[in-house]
Amino acid sequence: MTTNHSKTAVVTGSNRGIGNEVARQLCRQGFAVFIASRDMHDGREAAEELCNQGHEAIFLHMDVSDPLSIKNAVGTFSQKADHLDVLVNNAGILENAEVPITKMNVEALERAMTTNVYGPIIVIQDFLPYLEKSPEGGRIINVSSGAGSLHRMRTYAPAYSISKTAMNAVTRQFAACLHDRRIAVNSVDPGWVQTDMGGAHAPRPVESGAETIVWLATGAPLTETGKFWKDKREAEW
């Protein structure tokens, strides 16, 4: 192992927004954080910024919509660390939010599913051998959305909403499968956050959006698994 810290985390889509804030907060708690990003320039810049603040951040080139890119990222990770404590599936896309399902292009749904659902499944599968080696038990946090809650779902962003509902199902499946392997798997609704996706008029600062994710990664009991969370409280699916 070549990282300088005993605790390791991989955060996808962490070159900006919620993912970047999660990476920053995990660094502050003593993690070596792998900044996984498909944009090489922005990813390297985000990692460099955290390093300049005295943290250990390593850029990891990864496009979650490309299985080969994920496998290559795991190979790079394996050269730097021998285990993984926290995996945050944060990378995601949101397109054509105002187009109703009656006019939704099915290709848009396929793009959303590829990035928001299929990608996280492959990321978990490929990093699983390293999560199983976590000394204190691994933690997987899937960044979902209130738009994916069947209890609250309306007409907003059908492709995105459907993909986030599917991500919640992925969380339940992995949580059940990994329960006996000391790996907790949870979904988080970060709320409407001031990011490129959420927009400048969103009511929540990025710090609030990251809070529950970081709590699940560091402070929540490992027995809390297979649940949907918002503001450190269990939310309705």
Q: What is the dihedral of CA 117, 123, 129, 130, to 10 degrees?
A: -130
CATH classification at residue 102:
3.40.50.720
Q: Express as a percent the part of the chain with pLDDT over 70.
A: 100
| 140 contacts 87 by C-beta, under 8 angstroms | yes
Q: What is the pLDDT of residue 1?
A: 62
**Which residues make beta-bridge pairs with 98?**
none
Mean pLDDT of 99-106: 96
Into how many domains does the chain fold? Answer: 1
In a domain, 40, yes or no: yes
Which token pair is 159?
Answer: 């492709």
In a domain, 63, yes or no: yes
> Regarding beta strands 183-188 and 138-143, do their DSSP bridges make them parallel or antiparallel, or are they unpaired?
parallel
CA 125 centroid distance within chain: 14
Is the pLDDT at 101 greater than 80? The verdict is yes
Is the pLDDT at 185 greater than 90? The verdict is yes
Mean pLDDT of 120-139: 98
**Residue 205: pLDDT band with limits 50, 70, 90:** confident
Q: Residue holding tokens 């939310």?
A: 235
Nearby residues of 120 by Cβ (< 8 Å), 6 or more positions away: 12, 64, 89, 142, 167, 170
Q: What is the pLDDT of residue 233?
A: 97
In a domain, 190, yes or no: yes
Whole-angstrom distance, CA of residue 211 vs CA of residue 53: 20
If you ran DSSP here, which 8-state letter would residue 140 be given? E
Q: What is the pLDDT of residue 60?
A: 98
Q: What is the pLDDT of residue 35?
A: 98
In a domain, 45, yes or no: yes
Question: Which amino acids are annotated catalytic?
Answer: 160
In a domain, 41, yes or no: yes
In a domain, 2, yes or no: no
Q: Which domain holds residue 14?
A: 7-234
The pLDDT tens digits for 149-180 are 999 999 999 999 999 999 999 999 999 999 99
Q: Express as a percent the part of the chain with pLDDT over 90.
A: 92
Residue type, position 1, single letter: M
Q: What is the pLDDT of residue 37?
A: 98
| 161 contacts 117 by C-beta, under 8 angstroms | no
Nearby residues of 181 by Cβ (< 8 Å), 6 or more positions away: 132, 138
